[in-house]
Amino acid sequence: MEENFHVTELSSYRARVVFIVTILFLVTSTASIILRLMAKRVNKANLTADDYAILVAQVVNYGHAALVMLEALFSANIGHHADTIPSSGPPTFFKLLLPLQIIYGLILGLIKLSICLFYNRIFFTKRFRVASWAVIDLIAAWTIGSVLAPILICRPIAYNWDRKIKDGKCSNQTTSFITIGVFDLLIDIAVFALPLQMIWNLQVSTGKKAALFSIFGLGISTMILSILRIQALVTLDLSDVTYTATFPLLYAFLEPAIGITVACAPLFGPLVKTSRFGRFFSQSGKTHEYNLSSNFERMTEHDHELNDFRPQVTTMITTEGKKPPHVLKRSTAFFDDG
């Protein structure tokens, strides 16, 4: 019998949490995209491949958020125990769950791709490029697998939501979810680790290195969410899925939503510099060499690539025994106005 979707009250605490958190982080990811585009405009830089990838990811994220909110608002019974809801409830939940799984893999793949393309634009050594493209290959393989797995795991596909179909069968869905999550975490670690050595080798002050590491380190937040999702999936009970899948569902939305912000954060430099906060640090940076506002200014310009992250600085000694300012500036030209 065909089900009719109808709006319901957010009758469970878990449904309310899912709905509110989804809206909050959808706004956050949208704001991050807007700030990224504003930074590009301030820097008068053209959009590049990493920008397009993250823009597509955000478009997909809107669909992701819509499906999650449908789970909370419509007759999907999210947050309720299976034995307390009518028999017509769970199928709707599963109908929405299938596209959610597909979108989850697609959006995370786009975010990781955007980050790696951004790396390729600013880190220009051959060894790094080889490592980066190897990680991109892993991302592509994982994305394809995570999109196909929920489609192929049950036969016929309608058996995902209608377990009354004769001769229908599914492989172990929980194991599939966990496997996808584990490989997602491993690839996140690889993406996070890619630029660390390059940053460490930069001949800049410790303060600037700390700022760089902290911004790239934002990616740790998505790893934490991935771990929480895996942990929640381990305890997933498919016989009570409308209740036990609540937090895996929420984590699956938060991971890409926060991932979009993480991917955009390194490009906010021009906006920080033009703000009052940025001007304050810019002034103090003349004395303390902690000009945080300009750390990523060059990273947002597609025409500033480095062939060697160990700049050759020629030491010139004046009669006072000091290095001329223009020589010192060469070692940090990647970050400063130069």
Q: What is the pLDDT along the chain (338 residues), one digit of tens a residue?
A: 444 444 455 667 888 889 999 999 999 999 999 999 999 998 888 999 999 999 999 999 999 999 998 888 765 567 777 777 766 555 677 888 899 999 999 999 999 999 999 999 888 889 999 999 999 999 999 999 999 999 999 999 999 888 888 889 999 888 999 999 999 999 999 999 998 888 888 777 777 777 677 777 788 889 999 999 999 999 888 778 788 888 899 999 999 999 999 999 888 877 877 655 444 444 444 444 333 334 444 444 443 444 344 433 333 333 344 444 443 333 333 333 33
Q: Is residue 8 part of a domain?
A: no
Q: Is residue 39 part of a domain?
A: yes
Q: Which pLDDT score, from 0 to 100, does residue 314 have?
A: 35
Q: How many CB atoms lie within 10 A of CB 161?
A: 18
The residue segments making up the domain with residue 137 are 13-268
318 in the same domain as 211: no
303 in the same domain as 259: no
Q: Which pLDDT score, from 0 to 100, does residue 90 have?
A: 56
Last residue of a domain, one of 251, 268, 285: 268
Last residue of a domain, one of 248, 268, 288: 268
283 in the same domain as 299: yes
What lies within 8 Å, CB to CB, of 55 at 6+ separation is 33
235 in the same domain as 121: yes
Q: Which pLDDT score, from 0 to 100, does residue 322 have?
A: 47
Q: Which pLDDT score, from 0 to 100, does residue 236 have?
A: 86
Q: How many domains does the chain have?
A: 2
313 in the same domain as 263: no
282 in the same domain as 262: no
Q: Which pLDDT score, from 0 to 100, does residue 78 have?
A: 77
Q: Is residue 97 part of a domain?
A: yes
- Domain of 202, CATH number, reads 1.20.1070
Instruction: Return the C-alpha torsion angle 315, 289, 310, 113, nearest 10.
Output: -160
What lies within 8 Å, CB to CB, of 193 at 6+ separation is none
Q: Is residue 335 part of a domain?
A: no
Q: Is residue 3 part of a domain?
A: no
What lies within 8 Å, CB to CB, of 179 at 6+ separation is none
152 in the same domain as 109: yes
Q: Is residue 7 part of a domain?
A: no
Q: Is residue 95 part of a domain?
A: yes
Residue 289 amino acid letter: E
Please provide the DSSP assignment of 253-320 as one string.
HHHHHHHHHHHHGGG-HHHHHHSHHHHHHHHHHHHHS--GGGTTTGGG-TT--BS-SS--------TT
Q: Which pLDDT score, from 0 to 100, does residue 77 have?
A: 67
277 in the same domain as 264: no
Q: Which pLDDT score, from 0 to 100, does residue 8 have?
A: 52
166 in the same domain as 98: yes
Q: Is residue 4 part of a domain?
A: no
How is residue 297 written in tokens? Answer: 């200014």
Q: Which pLDDT score, from 0 to 100, does residue 163 have?
A: 81
36 in the same domain as 61: yes
Residue 307 to residues 123, 124, 127: CA-CA distances in angstroms? 8, 5, 11
SS3 4: coil
234 in the same domain as 93: yes
Task: Choose among 309, 318, 253, 311: nearest CA to 122.
Answer: 309
Last residue of a domain, one of 250, 268, 286: 268
173 in the same domain as 81: yes
Question: Phi, psi (5° rounding) for residue 220?
Answer: -60, -30
